[in-house]
Amino acid sequence: MSPLYYDRFDSPIGLLTVAADDQGVRHILFASNRHDARGREHWQHDPDAVAEPRRQLLEYLHGQRRQFELTLAPVGTDFQLLVWHTLAQIPFGTTWSYRQLAERIGRPTATRAVGAANGRNPLPLVLPCHRVIGHNGTLTGFGGGLPTKAALLRLEGIDAAGNRGADLFA
């Protein structure tokens, strides 16, 4: 397996880490994550190796980009990969419920499994798990925290119902 190169940098939503290898971007991490990436002690710090993903992430977070043009290489189960691939189909400025996401993958009764896969998404922002909300429009779990989820939705022009946190972009 090829080495993972990473950089850690400040962003409008706090400290982010992006890691990639010769296959593509493997991880985007918030300052605090529910599920940490394994093997981080073997990653090699090389800002130049991840300059393009860092640039695109910052463009998105500054409202200058709506789509990412990156080679992605997430690792997960077949089911997780299906969910993550389907996340990429949620358009900018749009939300889907967990139920809608489950229906899109052809598993309409698998909302909990879809939620679990969504929660393990190793590439938040690029695979927009922040665009998945509760069926009644409320914000539900997000690895970067609900205030960050609400801020990302507002960045995309979505009224973030259920926002209980501070506006990170104010």
Residue 120 lies in a domain: yes
Q: What is the domain-level CATH number for residue 35?
A: 3.30.160
Q: Is 85 found in the same domain as 56? A: no
pLDDT digits (tens, 9 = 90+) for 137-161: 888 888 888 888 999 999 999 886 5
pLDDT digits (tens, 9 = 90+) for 115-130: 999 999 999 999 999 9
Q: Is 141 found in the same domain as 85? A: yes
Q: What is the domain-level CATH number for residue 138?
A: 1.10.10.10
**Quick one: pLDDT at residue 54?**
98
Q: What is the C-alpha separation between 100 and 52, in angstroms, rounded?
A: 32
Q: Which of 130, 146, 59 is nearest to 96 (CA)?
A: 130
Q: Region 85-89: what's the mean pLDDT? A: 95
Q: Region 13-18: what's the mean pLDDT? A: 94
Q: Is 52 found in the same domain as 109? A: no
Q: Does pLDDT of 167 surpass 60?
A: no
Domain span at 12 = 5-61
Count of the separate structural domains present in the chain: 2
Q: Is 91 found in the same domain as 141? A: yes
pLDDT digits (tens, 9 = 90+) for 25-78: 999 999 876 556 666 668 899 999 999 999 999 999 999 999 999 999 999 999
Residue 163 lies in a domain: no
Q: Is 131 found in the same domain as 92? A: yes
Residue by residue, DSSP assigns 28-92 as EEESS-SSPPTTGGG-EE-GGGGHHHHHHHHHHHTTS-SS----B-----HHHHHHHHHHTTSPT
pTM of the model: 0.87
Q: Does pLDDT of 166 surpass 70?
A: no
**Quick one: pLDDT at residue 169?**
39
Q: Is 46 found in the same domain as 12? A: yes
pLDDT digits (tens, 9 = 90+) for 63-84: 999 999 999 999 999 999 999 9
Residues annotated as part of the active site: 129
Q: Is 102 found in the same domain as 45? A: no
Q: Is 127 found in the same domain as 92? A: yes
Domain stop point among 61, 86, 104: 61
Helix (H/G/I), strand (E/B), else coil: 116: helix
Q: Is 93 found in the same domain as 56? A: no
